[in-house]
Amino acid sequence: MVEFECRQSNDSKDCITLNHEQVSIETRDGRCQAHIFTPEGQGPWPSVIFCMDGFGIRPTLFQMAERLAQRGYVVLLPDLFYRAGPYGPLAPAEIFRSSDVMGAIGHLLASTDNHKAARDAQAFIDYLDTRTDVSSPNIGTIGYCMGGGIALSIAGTYPDRILAVASFHGGNLATDADTSPHLLAPLIKARAYVAGADRDDYYSPQMAKRLEKALLEAGVDHRCEIYAEALHGFAVADFQEFNEEAAERHWRELFDLLDTTLIR
């Protein structure tokens, strides 16, 4: 679990406080701290599970979740590193500049994987079902970097609940590992959007072809794209690889996916 002190001024926000609440969700492996962001007004609204990247819960993800909420969604942002105990908040750009990236986050990454996080999602879905401000039993799930594979895995694990899924600069989406998300393609019923970067060692052209082949053969309604002149991490503002043009494109595509599948 990561704790934050929130400070707000007229000029800037160090983290989000408006329409934001913290909740504790009981999973099979313990209590997962999570953040809920809701739109202005009374609702009810469709919901989205936001799967974090490998640097954990931090203010940048709050800002992204708030932008989704402002669009008209209840956003659940769970701390998928809850098994590892307290940490952070972490600053990705600083960690990447260090000589020991895995020393800083390796223990966190080792605490979860696609299957563990997908198992956790049952508790997240159950929690969303208890909220009166959530409008539909159908849910969207999105993820970045590590979270991209988790989002696809959740869609394949709960096909009758996940209606839309998006992965942005997700890594290791189609590998020989038994936790590879592409193996779940035959189970996915959601409409899917996958965006990779053309300069990304975690998502090679061969891997992209393997994933798309799996989605095509499974008959998944999907669109896979590679963003030109982009690096791994292009959509997340506190990454040194952040690309404003690619990030805005990702928001357009994400809103189009969610608005045309979750809003009725």
User: For 71-103, what is each residue's pLDDT tens digit?
Assistant: 999 999 999 999 999 998 999 988 988 878 888
Pairwise pLDDT comparison (10 vs 107), residue with the higher score: 107
Q: What is the reported pTM? A: 0.93
Q: Does the pLDDT at position 47 exceed 90?
A: yes
Pairwise pLDDT comparison (18 vs 83), residue with the higher score: 83
Predicted local confidence at residue 1, as pLDDT? 52
Neighbours of 207 (CB within 10 A): 20
Rounded Cα distance, 231 and 241, in Å: 6
**pLDDT (average), residues 115-141:** 97
Q: Which tokens sit at 78?
A: 């769970």
Q: Which amino acid type is present at position 66?
A: E
CATH superfamily for 20-261 is Alpha/Beta hydrolase fold, catalytic domain (3.40.50.1820)
What secondary structure letter does DSSP report for 234? T
Three-class secondary structure of residue 24 per DSSP: strand
Neighbours of 2 (CB within 10 A): 15
Mean of the per-residue pLDDT values of the chain: 92
The share of the chain scoring above pLDDT 90, in percent, equals 85
pLDDT tens digits for range 176-228: 999 999 999 999 999 999 999 999 999 999 999 999 999 999 999 999 999 99
Beta carbons of 50 and 65 less than 8 angstroms apart: yes
Nearest to 215 by CA among 186, 189, 193: 186
Rounded Cα distance, 57 and 78, in Å: 8
Predicted local confidence at residue 9, as pLDDT? 31
Q: Which 3-state string (H, E, C) describes 161-189?
A: CEEEEEEECCCCCCCCCCCCHHHHHHHCC
Q: Where are the domains of the chain?
A: 20-261
Q: Does the pLDDT at position 17 exceed 80?
A: no
Beta carbons of 182 and 212 less than 8 angstroms apart: no
Rounded Cα distance, 67 and 129, in Å: 22
Beta carbons of 181 and 174 less than 8 angstroms apart: yes
Q: Which 3-state string (H, E, C) describes 60-120?
A: HHHHHHHHHHHHCCEEEEECCCHHHCCCCCCCHHHHHHCCCHHHHHHHHHCCCCHHHHHHH
Run of H or E residues at 156: helix 146-157
The share of the chain scoring above pLDDT 70, in percent, equals 93
Nearest to 49 by CA among 25, 84, 75, 71: 75
Predicted local confidence at residue 8, as pLDDT? 33
- Give the pLDDT band of residue 18 (cuts 50, 70, 90): low
Rounded Cα distance, 143 and 2, in Å: 19
- Give the pLDDT band of residue 145 (cuts 50, 70, 90): very high
